[in-house]
Amino acid sequence: MFNCSLRTLRTVPHITKCLYSTKQNSYLETGIDFLKLSLARSIQTHRDLYSKTNKHYHDYTLLKLCQHNNVDINELFKVDAELSNKLNDYKLPKKVYVGLSSGIDSTFSAALLSQIYPGEVHGIYMQNWGKQQDSSIRDGKKCYDQDIKELNLLLKKDNAFDVKQFHVKSFEKEYWTSVFEPFLEDFKNGETPNPDISCNSMIKFNALMKYIDEVLEKDNKDKDYLLVMGHYCKRMNKQGIFIAEDVGKDQSYYLSKVDPLAFQKVWFPLGHIFKKECRQLSKEFDLSNYTKKDSVGICFVENERVKSKDKISRTRIFTQFLSDYIQDQEGHMVSHLNRKDITKEDNVIKPLVANFVQKTEDSERSPDMIKVYWKANHKGLHTYTLGQRVKEVLPQSDEFVGKWYVSRKDLEKNELEVVIGRDHVDLYDQIIHFKDILVQDLQGLENSTKIAVKFRSLHLGVTSNDKQLIEIDSLNQNNSVTLKHKQKGINPGQYLVVYDFNTGQVLMNSKIKQKVEP
């Protein structure tokens, strides 16, 4: 039933579930519990943000669903005199489409809407990666096959997951041309791309919405529908996206490149709750996948897991995967070192280091430094990221104690520069240059009293604020940002996302450029 060939569609009709009325009432009560929990968090968020900005921030979809399900929101009416009129103008569409995987976030979202939404609820599974694109000799089990099988089982079981129709749509061609090919090209150019961000901007909130408009809603002139996704992110006011309540699961970083107009038709029900609460509510909905582990890594890499009795690191799997598409080109591994640390007074290399050295030459950086070419070669620049520990064997001596790390890539010379020590100064940067700007909220960017950034989705080491934001000194005219403190592991090709520090709203997305050398 679910065997979906390239660029085809399968639609599974509604499966009537014969449930006892007490069970149905129980599911509705669980949905009401979700609304009450989310509303309480939303009220607290409104209170916090209003105290900082003197502006009202609301999740209108949440509040409309509260009204429909007789959940009292009078507390908000008392503090925002205009809210009643705004909600009167905000209409819930007649139809909802829920983006589905087999994970609990999306299936819970679909089950929730099945119980509390006053309209049709449809599910859509996006098949983005398939056998037609698999040039690897490794023939592991495909994640989309397993996903569809698990969704099929959920549809047949007695639970709250009760969508009217379940669509399976292939976006393999779009994914290949819009996400995967640029992903490979970025690696070839020495960058470290993030395909999850591209997938959101090009597929989930672009190609999918076009498909809904042009196929599923082709007879609906107003295109009156709501797209619900299981991302941890808040959407408040007309289209603004904000850091989720569960900061550790927040996905606003990954959504920052999506066309801001798309968010007018999108709702993220998980924005106000924590993952552990999603699991508990999923259990109460009788969803059998409520204990399923979170998906990690990139799906098209996970598809290619090597069958082995030994535990294989994700880094190794990823490197093996890339080798199917990018030719490995070995090159020199080099270091610029203090001359006194590597040579004796007669300029002879010290014995403990000599066995690791292929050759040396004067460093262009300083007369007191020497450029060392190590005997160990790198395996291809695309297999390394800045700040990564290298596993090649390099010297250990009185002057060189600790692990070696990647500090720079030279594409022209095909050289990988390494330094010793995880806190080496060359691993840190304070100025980040960026390009390819997408502004999410121009007015917010211009009027924000304090902005901050993220250059990856989580900054676990940040303890100065509860949103894990990196504070900055300035956003500069030359498309660069000066950080308040130096940071490690800033990679070209990754994304620099600008936030309002006080509200956690995403203001701008940009792509990090290669470091500008002095």
pLDDT digits (tens, 9 = 90+) for 103-150: 999 999 999 999 999 999 999 999 987 655 443 333 455 677 788 889
Dump pLDDT digits (tens) for 154-170.
Answer: 999 999 999 999 999 99
- Cα angle, residue 8 at apex, residues 7 and 12 outer, rounded to 5°: 145
Instruction: Give the confidence band of 253 by pLDDT, cuts at 50, 70, 90.
Output: very high
- pLDDT value of position 38: 98
Per-residue pLDDT reduced to its tens digit, 410-460: 999 999 999 999 999 999 999 999 999 999 999 999 999 999 999 999 998
Task: Provide the percentage of residues in the chain whose pLDDT is more than 90.
Answer: 76
Cα 173 from chain centre = 22
> Three-class SS of residue 298?
coil
Q: Give CA–CA dist 217/156, Å, rounded.
A: 26
The answer to whether 115 touches 28, Cβ cutoff 8 Å, is: yes
* Maximum separation of any 2 CA atoms in the chain, in Å: 91
Tens-place pLDDT, residues 367-389: 999 999 999 999 999 999 999 99
pLDDT at 307: 42
**How far is the C-alpha of 34 from the C-alpha of 30, rounded, in Å?**
6
- Summary mean pLDDT of the chain: 89
Distances (CA, A) of 129 to 4, 202, 211, 300, 409: 12, 14, 17, 6, 31
pTM: 0.90
Tell which residue, 3, 22, 21, 25, has the closest CA to residue 12. Answer: 3
Compare 166 and 15 and report the one with higher pLDDT: 166
Residue 4 pLDDT level (bands cut at 50, 70, 90) = very low
Please state, in angstroms and as integers, the Cα–Cα distance from residue 405 to each residue in 188, 195, 422, 448, 486, following that order: 21, 24, 7, 37, 17
d(CA 175, CA 477): 34
pLDDT of residue 136: 35
**pLDDT the model gives residue 321:** 77
User: In angstroms, rounded to a whole number, what is the distance separating the alpha carbons of residues 486 and 12?
Assistant: 53
The predicted pLDDT at position 99 comes to 97
Q: How far apart are CA 156 and CA 476, in angstroms?
A: 56
- Per mean pLDDT, which range of 119-128, 194-203, 310-319, 424-433 is the poorest? 310-319
Q: Is the pLDDT of residue 291 over 60?
A: yes
Supply the DSSP string of 83-120, one letter for each residue. HHHHHHH----SEEEEEE-SSHHHHHHHHHHHHH-SSE
pLDDT over threshold 90, residue 235 = yes
Q: What is the CATH number of domain 427-512?
A: 2.40.30
Per-residue pLDDT band for 12 (boundaries 50, 70, 90) equals low
In this predicted structure, what is the pLDDT of residue 5? 35
Over the stretch 50-65, which tens digit does the pLDDT of each residue have?
999 999 999 999 999 9
Burial (CB count within 10 angstroms: exposed 0-12, middle 13-18, buried 19+), residue 253: buried
Measured CA to CA, the distance from residue 38 to residue 58 in angstroms comes to 12
Q: Quick one: fold of 9-290?
A: Rossmann fold (3.40.50)
Nearest residue to 151 via CA among 115, 116, 103, 203: 103
Q: Which residues of 463-488 are buried (b: 16+ CB within 10 A; e: fewer)?
A: eeeebbbbebeebeeeeebebeeebe
In the chain, ranges of CATH 2.40.30 domains: 427-512
